[in-house]
Amino acid sequence: MAGRPARLLVCLLSWLPLLEGAKILTLSLFGGSHYLLMDRVAQILQDHGHDVTVLQPSGLSFTSGFEVEKRYRVVLWFPPEDYTQEYKKYIDFFLHESLHGRDSFTYLVKFMGMHATWCSHLLRSTDTMGLLKNESFDLVVVDGADGGALLIAERLGRPWVAVLPVTFGGLSFGLPEPVSYVPVFYSPLTDRMGFWGRVGNSLMVLFATWVEWSISAQFDDLISEHFPEDPKPDLLHVRQKAELWFVNSDFAFDFARPLLPNTVYIGGITDRPVKPIPPEFEKFIASFGDAGFVLVALGSLVSSLQPQVLKEMNRAFGQLPQGVIWKCSPALWPKDVTLAANVKIVDWLPQNDLLAHPSIRLFVTHGGMNSVMESIQHGVPMVGIPLRFDQPGNMIRVEAKNLGVYIRTEQLTAETLALKMKQVIEDKRYKAAAVAASVIRRSHPQTPAQRLVGWIDHILQTGGAAHLKPHAFQQPWYEQYLLDVALFLLVLTLGTVWLCGKLLGLAARWLCGARKLKKA
């Protein structure tokens, strides 16, 4: 009986972080859509009773027109000004070059090297790192696409979880990946591969592994400087230390594949309640009656598009009977181009609210994950113009699911774009597939926010997620792939064959000797 009070005390102590609210640090080192996602995660955790702090570099770039209503605490880090300017300059150069398809992989590797140096400056900042260590956070939430953020969480020595802003692909964190039906993310393949598709996927897995190694190698200097102890961590093993992986995707969008218990879909986490749209938009939409309208939003990179691309898009939109609301800054509009009569361009628009409008017929998007999830949420078919990074892979999945079609910027002409848009608007199969995907998205037993909070509360209550991780994470690679077993069976088989050969040889010689004795 004496043990019962002790067990009760342990149980109550395990619930203490939940009763008081845990201290949670969120690392948000990227801007743009990455920040939108991490901001939403921080807001949700704060609203559910946790004490959230966000580490944010000063001068972080935001999506145009986005205003952050911070209910959490922000710790600003001020990186060296000279390096910050160099870093921002290279980001602009990298985005411009990758947008136009000029050796984007080489530039990506260099960009990640610069980002690793930037993160190294943070680790050298004794004021900032000392402040974070002294806070003794119960949990750290990091952007899973940022190797630097993972290493900073590792250096803090606190339990941490990762939020992957994109769907699977581009990095490994221990998930099983059968190449027979799990395509390499950046390939044009789907989960339905024929023989040659499986051959190609097998080869692309090797290439993807080399790409991931090349990017991870950019953090070697950071690891050497800030992790002097041996053995030194590598990014693959660091990723496997995450208590949970929250993935910004959904079964309505992605191909079905094996998941581990510590992998949770939270696609649609950025969804917000629909609000009435401003009168200027409502008046414009009403002027087109039953024809409805098309929404066009190509993310923050629209400012990098060449004037010729904007001209072709404008010509294509002018061929539609629908109105077109286009997020494109009037200040950037080519002065020698007359805007089509049915097109309205604006610096900012309420994307989620417009996607929920009953008169919307089509969403022309760059294929960013947040935009795709919002489009699926409201059952709107898409025409994609993917620009960079994960966007081409996202649109391959959109097309495979019959949620829309896509066209690459180098193939974009007014005629081709107009044809694609009319195809999706007029063929009711796209709308039906989008509505079906919306039903899948909406009919989960829990919302993405509930899954996020519920799983984080679970690991806070249980002291971690060791029970959700396979033992494979602790095995050497040759044990995981049964190479030691294969070698043992090969040696056993060869040894058995050799022994049988020897025995047959002895038996043959004995028989020959017996025959000779009989003849004698």
Residue 273 in domain = no
Residue 3 in domain = no
Specify the higher pLDDT residue, 451 or 230: 451
pLDDT at 2: 47
467 and 504, same domain (yes or no): no
204 and 295, same domain (yes or no): no
pLDDT at 101: 60
90 and 228, same domain (yes or no): yes
pLDDT at 4: 52
Q: Is the pLDDT of residue 16 over 50?
A: no
Specify the higher pLDDT residue, 255 or 308: 255
387 and 335, same domain (yes or no): yes
For 192-236, the three-class secondary structure string (H helix, E strand, C coil) is CCCHHHHHHHHHHHHHHHHHHHHHHHHHHHHHHHHCCCCCCCCHH
233 and 108, same domain (yes or no): yes
Q: pLDDT by residue (tens digit) across 439-475?
A: 998 888 888 999 999 999 999 998 888 888 888 787 8
Question: Cβ neighbours of residue 227 under 8 Å, at least 6 residues apart?
Answer: 151, 154, 155, 233
Mean pLDDT of 469-493: 86
Q: Is the pLDDT of residue 121 over 80?
A: yes
When divided into structural domains, the chain yields a total of: 3
Nearest to 366 by CA among 408, 416, 410: 408
Which structural domain, as residue segments, surrounds residue 490? 481-519
pLDDT at 312: 87
70 and 135, same domain (yes or no): yes
First to last CA, the chain: 91
Angstrom distance (rounded) from CA 1 to CA 198? 62
Phi/psi class of residue 427: alpha, beta or left (left: φ > 0; alpha: ψ in -120 to 50)? beta
pLDDT at 11: 47
Residue 152 in domain = yes
Q: pTM of whole model > 0.75?
A: yes
Asked whether 215 and 104 are in contact (CB, 8 A), the reply is no
Q: Is the pLDDT of residue 107 over 80?
A: no
Sheet holding 139-143, edge to edge: 73-77, 51-57, 23-27, 139-143, 160-164, 245-247, 263-265
Residue 9 in domain = no
Residue 34 in domain = yes
455 and 416, same domain (yes or no): no
pLDDT at 502: 86
Q: Is the pLDDT of residue 285 over 90?
A: yes
Q: pLDDT by residue (tens digit) across 137-155?
A: 999 999 988 888 899 999 9
- Choosing from 442, 457, 491, the residue where a domain stops is 442
18 and 66, same domain (yes or no): yes
pLDDT at 18: 47
Long-range contact pairs involving 282-289 (C-beta distance under 8 Å, separation at least 24): 284/323, 284/325, 284/344, 285/323, 285/325, 285/357, 285/359, 287/323, 288/321, 288/322, 288/323, 288/342, 288/359
Q: Is the pLDDT of residue 334 over 60?
A: yes
Q: Is the pLDDT of residue 13 over 60?
A: no
Angstrom distance (rounded) from CA 13 to CA 423? 60
385 and 334, same domain (yes or no): yes
455 and 392, same domain (yes or no): no
Residue 2 in domain = no
Residue 437 in domain = yes
Domain CATH code at residue 63: 3.40.50.2000
pLDDT at 324: 93
72 and 124, same domain (yes or no): yes
pLDDT averaged over the chain? 84
Under the banding of pLDDT at 50, 70 and 90, the label for residue 497 is very high
420 and 470, same domain (yes or no): no
pLDDT at 169: 66
Residue 4 in domain = no
